[in-house]
Homo-oligomer: A and B are copies of this chain.
Amino acid sequence: VTDDRPELTVLDTDECWRLLAAGGVGRVAMEAADGLVVMPVNFAVDAGVVVFRTTEGGLLGRAAEWGRTVAFEADELDHQLRQGWSVLVRGELRRVPDEDTGPLIEAVAPWARGERNVVGKITPSQVSGRRVGTVEGSL
């Protein structure tokens, strides 16, 4: 019996950043007071950090204010072809000072209604990624 499914391969750091560069939707995971949370965010990459917008006083907004270690994951997975990639970024989440958010506010327009003028940035301490299948670039 042969197994013709594609191999799972490890991505190098450059490839991880190349895949993240397109931005889109990723997920931020962190330990909250009542347990682990995983929340989708609309993100962009700016000068080697992952940035997203959130609400003042919300869970991510407060975490960014205080500075918290988080994990960020983005992926593109093609259900039909059964292949894709996943990148994991670990690092510290911090709030971007309001005076520096100008160009970032446009880059990461949130979907939902309401004020989301807190820009969180995740400064990576570790980046890793995996790919299933051989498709290059975006799927």
Q: A138 → chain B, closest Cβ, in Å?
A: 11
A8-B83 contact given A38-B27, A88-B37, CB 8 Å threshold:
no
Copies of the polypeptide in the assembly: 2
Q: A70 → chain B, closest Cβ, in Å?
A: 7
Contact across chains for A29 and B25 when beta carbons are under 8 A apart: no
Q: Does A62 contact B (CB under 8 A)?
A: no
Interface positions of A from 88 to 106, Cβ below 8 Å from B: 88, 90
Interface residues on A, range: 35 or more
Q: Does A123 contact B (CB under 8 A)?
A: no
Contact across chains for B112 and A73 when beta carbons are under 8 A apart: no
Contact across chains for A35 and B126 when beta carbons are under 8 A apart: yes
